[in-house]
Amino acid sequence: MASYKLLIKPSAARELEALPRKDRGRIVAKIKGLADNPRPPGSEKLSGEEKYRLRQGDYRVLYSIQDASTTVTIVKIGHRREVYHR
């Protein structure tokens, strides 16, 4: 399987930096894993959107996959209570 290129939106990068240090490392590891497998076990496609969700404890990573250009774009990172609100 081809390795995907990871892109992270500037707003998502700021959200990642704002997370507690103990959770940040695990979330970064999950994001890096998306380069090898953009649809890992436990990821879910969001209904009504072309985005996927990845869980890590109480935090969620929302991302989109462009198979044609083999790119994964991290759109939003946050607590499960807040991440789905627009």
DSSP 9-20: -HHHHHHHHTS-
Strand partners, 63: 52, 74
- The domain segmentation of the chain, as residue ranges, is 5-79
- What pLDDT was estimated at residue 36? 93
- What pLDDT was estimated at residue 2? 65
Give the separation between CA 34 and CA 36, rounded to whole angstroms. 5
Give the separation between CA 29 and CA 36, rounded to whole angstroms. 12
Is residue 10's pLDDT more than 90? yes
Q: Report the topology of domain 5-79.
A: YaeB-like fold (3.30.2310)
Cβ within 8 Å of residue 57, ≥6 positions away: 23, 26
Calculate the CA 4 to chain-centre distance: 13
Interval 16-54: pLDDT, tens: 999 999 999 999 999 999 999 999 999 999 988 889 999
Q: What percent of the chain has pLDDT over 90?
A: 84
